[in-house]
Structure 1
C-alpha cells in the first residue's frame, strides 16, 4: 500500500521529536533529590512534627497546598516544580516507608549539612547541628530504597533519572556563624565542604547517576535573618542593594570552589551530564531588580511578626503566635526571612530547566 508523502513526513517528525526529547533529557524515569530545608518535602515530619517547629503551622503552605506540609515556604519548592515540569509526581519523603519511589524520592531533610557530625565537633560547634541527616546519610537512605525501585538493574534505571544534589553547604556555614565564627573564618572550611559535596556526587555516579544538578549556596547576606542578626551602623558593610558584603563573600567563595569542582567532575566523567545550578546569581538578580521578577519587596520577609525593616525577629517567626503573612506572597522574594516564596522557587526552577542559571541547562 502506498504511503503518502504527508504521512511519511509526519512519521519522520514524530521520530525526530522523540530522538530530540531523549537527547535533550526531557524524559526522565524519576527525580531524586538531596539537600536541606530548601528541598525537604516532609522528611523531618514523617514521624510527627518536632516540638517547637513553626513551619508545621499556618500560614506555611497556604499558597498551593492550603495547609502546612513541612515545606519551608508558602507553597511548592524548586524540586516540586522540576517534578511537575518532567511529568513526575511530587516527591514523597524517603522516610515515608509506604510510598512508591519508582518515580522519585526526596532524601532532603531540614537542617541537613554536607559534612558529618565529627566535622562540626572538631570545630567546636557540634551543638549547632540538630539533626542526623548529612549528605552521606541521605545517600544511604537512597541506597536503602533501591531494591524496591529498580531491583537488580539499577544502573540502567538511574542513568535515565534526574538527580538534584542540594542546595547543600548553607547549614555547614550556619553552624559556624551561629557558633561565633566570622564569615572569613567559616570560609576557611569551604574546601572541605565542597570536597564533601563532590564526593557525594561521585558516589551517586558510581551507583549509575548520569544527570546530576549541583546547586551552589545562596546570597545569604541578602536574607532578612542575616540582615537582622548581623546588622551594623556602618554603611560600608552593605552593598548598593542593602546586602551584607561579608556574608555574600562567604557564599561566593563556596560557589567559586564548587564551580571548579563541578568542572573537574565534568572532565572526569565525560559521559555524564553534571550541571552547576547558580542559585546565587539568580537570587541576587532578584534582589537587584525585584520588579523585573514581579516582586515589590526583596529584603523583607513576607511572613513574620517582627516588624521593622526586614520583618524578622527570632522570637516572632512565621508560624508563631501573632505572626502573619503578607497579603500577596507572590509579590515577595523572601517568605519567612530564611527561605523563599513559591513564586521565587518557580522562577529558579525555570532558570535551571532552560535558562541562564544552570550550566549547562537541564534541557540544553
Structure 2
C-alpha cells in the first residue's frame, strides 16, 4: 500500500513538473519564431494549422509554438498585440530582424535590404519596458522570471544574409560579422540574467548551406563544393558552424560566471543537418533540399526568386509533411514539430526542457 501511495505521489509530481514548472514563456529572435509581430504574408502561409496567415513564416506552427504546447502554455502573442494578456508570456521576435543594429550595416553600405529594426538589444529593451506591467516591482519580476522559460534566438541568420547577398565574400563575413553577432547575443543573454532570467535556451543558427535559397543562388559546378551525402553547400555551412562554435564559447563562459543559471544550447544545426543526411528517417520523402511552396519543377530545388511562395507562378506541394523546406529559407510545420521534440525530450537540448529534475 505504501508503495502504491508513493507511486501516485511521484506520478503527480512528474505531471506537475511537466505542466506547471513554468508560469510563462518569453521568446526573442527572427522569422524562425515570429508569431505575428510582422504580418506580411497571405495563404498558403498558415494553411496547415491556422487556416490563415498569422505572420508565421511556415505552413503552420513554429518550434516555439510546439514548445509552448509542450510545457502547457498558450501560443505566444506578439508583443505588438493589443488587448492581450502577456502574463503567460510574449514574443519579441520579428521577421527579418538582424542581431546587430542598423548602424553596423549603414557604415558598410549594406543597409539597403534591411527593413525591420529589431536587433538583439532593441528586443531586450522592449522586454525590459514591458516587464513592470506583467510582474510589478523589480524584485517581483525576478521572482516571476525564476519560474519562466526564456528562448533567446535564433539570431544571426538575417545578418549573414545581408552580408552575403550584399556581395561580401564569405571569408569577410566570417571575420567581421561572426564575432560581433555572437558578442551581441551574449550581451543580450547577460542583460536577461540581470533582470532575473534563470532558465534560458539559446539556439544555434541553422546549416544555411542546406537551404534551397542558398543552393539556388550560389550553385556551383564543382562537386567538391557540396557534401557528398547531404548535398549541402559546404562554405555556407562552415560559416554557420563557426558562428555556433563562438556562440558556445560565450555560453560556456556564462555557465562558469553564473552557476545558478541554467543556460542551455539548442542545436538547430545538428538536427537540421541530420534531416539532410537522413530525410527518410523522419518521413521526408521529398528530401530535405526541395522547396514545398515555390516554383515547382523550376530547377533542382523548386525555388525561384521570381516565383516565391505566395507569389504568382508559385504552387504548393501536395503534402507539406514530406518536406523540410517550406519556402526555400523557412521550414514546414512537420520539421518544426520534430525539432521541438528534440528540444523538449532531447537530445538537441541537454538537459531537455521536459526533464524531471528542475535544476533550480
| Secondary structure of residue in 2 paired with 1:213 | strand
TM-score when scaled to structure 1? 0.92
Measure, in 2, the Cα distance between the counterparts of 1:321 and 1:293: 31
1:32 aligns with 2:26: yes
1:262-341 correspondence to structure 2 within 5 Å = 262-296=251-285, 297-305=287-295, 307-341=298-332
| Residue of structure 2 equivalent to 1:235 | 223
- CA-based RMSD of the aligned residues comes to 1.7
The unaligned stretches of length 5 or more in structure 1 are 1-5, 46-52
Q: Indicate the residue corresponding to 1:141 in structure 2.
A: 126
Secondary structure in structure 1 of the residue aligned to 2:315: coil
Partner SS state of residue 38, structure 2: helix
1:354 and 2:345 matched: yes
1:84 aligns with 2:69: yes
* Length, aligned pairs only: 349
Give the secondary structure class of the aligned counterpart of 1:358. Answer: coil
Displacement of 1:359: 3.0
Q: Is the 8 A contact 2:198 2:262 kept in 1?
A: yes
Cα distance in 2 for partners of 1:260, 1:26 equals: 32
1:101-158 deviation line (CA, Å, top 9, x unaligned): 0011000000111111112223331223211111111112112221221112100001
Please give the alpha-carbon distance, in whole angstroms, between the structure 2 residues aligned to 1:160 and 1:268. Answer: 21
- In 1: Cα distance, 2:4 partner to 2:125 partner: 47
Matches within 5 A, 1:1-364: 6=1, 9=3, 12-17=6-11, 27-45=21-39, 53=40, 56-152=41-137, 153-188=140-175, 189-240=177-228, 241-296=230-285, 297-305=287-295, 307-364=298-355
Structure 2, unaligned runs of 5 or more: 356-360
The whole-number CA distance in structure 1 between the counterparts of 2:315 and 2:235 is 31
Please report how far the alpha carbon of residue 162 of structure 1 lies from its aligned counterpart in structure 2 after TM superposition.
0.5
Quote how far apart the aligned CAs of 1:24 are.
7.6
Q: Distance in 1 between matches of 2:231 and 2:239?
A: 16
TM-score of the superposed pair, with normalisation by structure 2: 0.93
Give the C-alpha shift of residue 244 in structure 1: 0.7
Alpha carbons 1:282, 1:348 under 8 Å: kept: yes
Give secondary structure in 1 for the equivalent of 2:260: coil
2: CA distance between counterparts of 1:343 and 1:184?
34
